[in-house]
Chains A and B, each alone.
Chain A
Amino acid sequence: MKQSRALLPLVGVVILLAVWTLVTALRLVDPVLLPSPLATFRTLWAGMVSGKLGADFVKTVIRTITSTAIAAVIAIPLGILLGSSEKLYRSVEFLIDFFRSTPASAMFPLFLVLFGVGDRTKISVAAFGAALVILFNVAYGVMNARKTRLLAAKVMGASRTRVLFDVMLRESLPQTFVGLRNGVSLALVIIVVAEMFIGSTDGLGQRVFEAQQLFDMPGMYAAIFAAGALGYTLNLVFLVIERRFVHWAGR
């Protein structure tokens, strides 16, 4: 029973592959538009191991990680600062919510003017979007620290600084990780879009776009799967780190 439960997540994958194989085998869809799973994954494998796809993949990984790291370094201390004073947070809440709701892609032209065509623009737009998401979550995590826990530290004689570092910071960690996971996902979206359109020569977005232009359908699907696998893995990595460092979350 237990083993069969562990296999449950695979059911959807198997069904998708079966339907896909059937559709291509029966030629229900033009094979030029939808290559067979086998052709797609063969292209994916070849591209990742020896082709240009692998290099583009690495480029996108570096850009996404860099922008998330920049966002975290700016947003986490700022979020703690804002969250530790509810008055301070309320006074800038509208600004944060407004820019958090602004599609980061709308900022491309502005950042192009500021940083020119190149990595700096892509990374800074992604960092901008991710930072607001992280900032908002960290601030809320700090603000929603459990009152009893803060009181308990206070009653034991902890100073304000000790309460901040020993209790508020720890209390905000689960919410900080929610912010980091959302932040890295958003950064990936922004990076891939940027790679497609603003004069890029590499990256997964560029690979998808170029394959489509050349009508290289297996190559395009392969690049899409690579991007999907990247997004999924980044999320998973943060989850694993979270489980390790925030072992008490949700308990």
Chain B
Amino acid sequence: MPSAPDESRRTAPHVTIRGLCKTFSDTPIYDHFDFDIPRGKLISVFGPNGCGKSTLINMIAGLIAPDAGEVLFDGRPLSDVKFGYVFQNYREALFPWLSAFDNIAYPLKLMRVARAERDRRVEQLVARLGVKIDLALYPYQLSGGQQQLVSIMRALIVEPEILFLDEPFSALDYEMTLFMRDQLQMVFMETATTTVLVSHDLEEAVYLADYVLLLSRHPARVVEFAPFDAPRPRTDKTMSEPDFIATKAHCLKLFQQEVRRG
């Protein structure tokens, strides 16, 4: 768990992406893309439709193989790294034949952790996040937000050093989205795990981020790596403060320039 103070003082980037290339049906989405992901920060990835936001985290997390290039985590390949991945479609990502509790414990089962230890660690995570869901229920008996929270807990149970979320709240209604943003913020404050969040909602991207990574139309370049350092926990009030409004307006301007360019 990268929560010890000497860990957070390390300034070397956590993930280094070098020369990443990916072409989908003759369209180059990434063409020698370089980027460094800082440690212990929450990065929101934002950009025009089809620019390859999800493709980026899918390549980093090994769901899609890049045509060329290299992604290293503190110099190590992905296979040496514990990471968590949260899908947009929680309904299809959770296992409906397992209870919420067993869904969360499943990655530990894959790691051959003994039953008692699995139970203990799930209980611990539940207590730590203050989750109030009846975990004996099956996923389909839970609301959308609760299911996505279970997905996030399943990603966290292995104590990942990096957490990827692919538009995790876009299938939820607005009320639930607001609630889940704060849940995610709480998880982040609690664990200080390096987090990469793909979002198609600029408000959400800025609200949650330490940095907003703005991508161009394909082939994707970094248009801006905009910092946003409002103190946490951020609340509804954060969204009416000048700093938030300025950052959001700045990102929106760059985004629209990119959209018009295409």
Contacts and interface: CB of A to CB of B under 8 A. Distances in A.
Contacts of A149: 92-93, 95
Given A148-B89, A152-B87, A157 B110 contact: yes
Given A247-B138, A248-B140, A251-B140, A156 B107 contact: yes
B174 interface: no
Residues of A contacting B: mostly: helix
Contact of A157 (B87, B89, B107): B107
A172 to B, nearest CB: 12
A148 B54 CA distance: 14
Interface in B99-153: 106-107, 110-111, 138, 140
Interface residues on A, range: 10 to 19
Contacts of A189: none
A16 to B, nearest CB: 38
Closest 9 CB pairs between A and B?
Answer: A248-B96, A148-B92, A251-B140, A152-B93, A156-B107, A155-B85, A170-B97, A146-B92, A148-B93
B97 A248 contact: yes
Contacts of B62: 155
Interface of A: 146, 148-149, 151-152, 154-158, 162, 166-167, 170, 173, 247-248, 251
B149 to A, nearest CB: 16
B61 A155 contact: yes
Contacts of B92: 146, 148-149, 152
B95 A156 contact: no
A157 B95 CA distance: 15
A149 B61 CA distance: 16
Contact of B111 (A151, A152, A157, A166): A157
A148 B87 contact: yes
A148 B97 CA distance: 15
B101 to A, nearest CB: 15
B63 interface: yes
Contacts of B138: 247-248
Nearest to A249: B96
Interface string B51-93: 0000000000111000000000000000000000101010011
Contacts of A151: 63, 87
6 contacts: A155-B61, A155-B62, A155-B63, A157-B107, A166-B106, A248-B96
A64 B62 CA distance: 49
Counting chain A CB atoms within 10 Å of each CB, the highest count among B93, B97, B110, B140 belongs to B97
A158 B95 contact: no
Contact of A251 (B89, B95, B96, B111): B96
A169 to B, nearest CB: 10
Contacts of A170: 95, 97
A145 to B, nearest CB: 10
A156 B106 CA distance: 9
Which of A148, A167, A173 counts the most B-chain CB atoms under 10 A from its CB? A148
